[in-house]
Structure 1
Amino acid sequence: MKFALPVLLALALLAGCASTPPPATTFILVRHAEKVPDGSKDPELTPAGLARADALAVRLADVPLDAVYSTDFRRTRQTAAPTARGHGLQVISYDAKEPAADFSSRLKREHSGQTVLVVGHSNTVPGIAAALCSCTVAEMSEAEYDRLTTVRVGADGKATLEEGRQ
């Protein structure tokens, strides 16, 4: 009986040391929504694009986002803004010309175990997704605005890719 208390304390300490594996890191990637075809380098979203941005915010309302990234163009910022606002987050700017491998390494390093939304362009989103998952990702046409790509990276470093529509 006099050994029961130390044994129970030891078991309690061991139970406290048992750790659960860290959560997966999740990256949700989308291209900016429909843009005004005004020929400029920095157009705004069309009314349909603004509606798509709002719909994305509704779709991600229950997702526990930790960060929202966007390139520094009006169309990407306008796409990211409703979701960021709904989660009480500021949109973090990234350079659209930053190599996908460098950007994805930074995302993995800075957001381990978190969930992150990345808003980019038809010529950047597939490359970023491919770099995050070390897998092949289909190119995106200039007319495609509704692809939603999710990359989950487990604690073991293994990644899975899911593609769907918004």
Structure 2
Amino acid sequence: MTPIARISALGLSVLLAACASAPPAPSASFVIVRHAEKSDDDPRDPSLSEVGRARAQRLAASLKNQPVRAVYATAYRRTQQTGEPTAQSHGLQVIGYDAKQPAGDFAAALRREHPSGTVLVVGHSNTAPDIAAALCQCSVAPMAETEFDRRMRIDFDRDGHPSYSESRDQ
């Protein structure tokens, strides 16, 4: 074998090894967030504050290059307004869901309806962690009433195994 052929064969071997060790892309991903900061314009159904609208825009920007297939939000203005920028950037409509629906039932429906792609779910401090926990079948810490920046992500591999991660919006 010539020196050039050996180098080519070695290079191909390194590339194949790198591909084999790279984690496979998830088949489905669910991003669960609490609605962004609300204003005090309506005690029963407030809209987003200026800070909340900015957070919703950052959320949309962070998901811009992901294959978002659906955006779910409860019927409240603050959840709808949190999900709207992401839905609009992907040419989608926000899909309403019942905040009182058991988390396990909602998670099962999400998995059935969305076997691939990325799905954003906007909930509330008392529902978002439960939805994430039902999806990943793991423990998820409760959310404080003052917490707006946590993003919970559940990625399912090709075999249907979930992995859970959290990040914070800046």
Provide the residue aligned with 2:49 in structure 1. 46
Question: Which one of 110, 120, 125 corresponds to residue 122 of structure 1?
Answer: 125
CA distance in 2, matches of 1:43, 1:22: 38
CA distance in 1, matches of 2:88, 2:161: 31
Which segment is superposed worse, 31-40 or 52-61? 31-40
CA distance in 2, matches of 1:51, 1:25: 27
Shift of 1:22: 9.3
Asked if structure 1 preserves the Cα contact closer than 8 Å seen for 2:155 and 2:163, the reply is: yes
Provide the residue aligned with 2:12 in structure 1. none
1:141 and 2:134 are equivalent in the alignment: no
List alignment gaps of at least 5 residues for structure 1. 1-20
CA distance in 1, matches of 2:135, 2:158: 14
1:73 and 2:76 are equivalent in the alignment: yes
Shift of 1:38: 5.0
1:161 and 2:164 are equivalent in the alignment: yes
Provide the residue aligned with 2:35 in structure 1. 32
> What amino acid sits opposite 2:121 in the alignment?
V
CA distance in 2, matches of 1:151, 1:165: 15
CA distance in 2, matches of 1:108, 1:154: 12
List alignment gaps of at least 5 residues for structure 2. 1-23
Q: Which digits, 9 at most, give the CA deviation of each residue in 1:102-154, with x for residues without a partner?
A: 00000000101221000110000000000000000000000000001100122
Asked if structure 1 preserves the Cα contact closer than 8 Å seen for 2:71 and 2:83, the reply is: yes
Give the superposed CA RMSD.
1.5
Which segment is superposed worse, 23-32 or 130-139? 23-32
Secondary structure of 1:123's counterpart equals: coil
Q: Which digits, 9 at most, give the CA deviation of each residue in 1:27-69, with x for residues without a partner?
A: 0111100001356121111110011111111111111100010
Secondary structure of 1:66's counterpart equals: strand
Secondary structure of 2:68's counterpart equals: coil
Instruction: From the superposition, tell whether residues 113 and 143 of structure 1 become closer, same or farther in structure 2 (CA, over 3 Å).
Output: same
Provide the residue aligned with 1:100 in structure 2. 103
Asked if structure 2 preserves the Cα contact closer than 8 Å seen for 1:28 and 1:118, the reply is: yes
Equivalent positions of 1:11-22 (< 5 A) are: none
Q: Which digits, 9 at most, give the CA deviation of each residue in 1:58-115, with x for residues without a partner?
A: 1111111000100010000000001100110010000000000000000000101221
Asked if structure 2 preserves the Cα contact closer than 8 Å seen for 1:22 and 1:113, the reply is: no
Give runs of ≥4 in structure 1 deviating > 6 Å: none
Instruction: From the superposition, tell whether residues 22 and 163 of structure 1 become closer, same or farther in structure 2 (CA, over 3 Å).
Output: closer
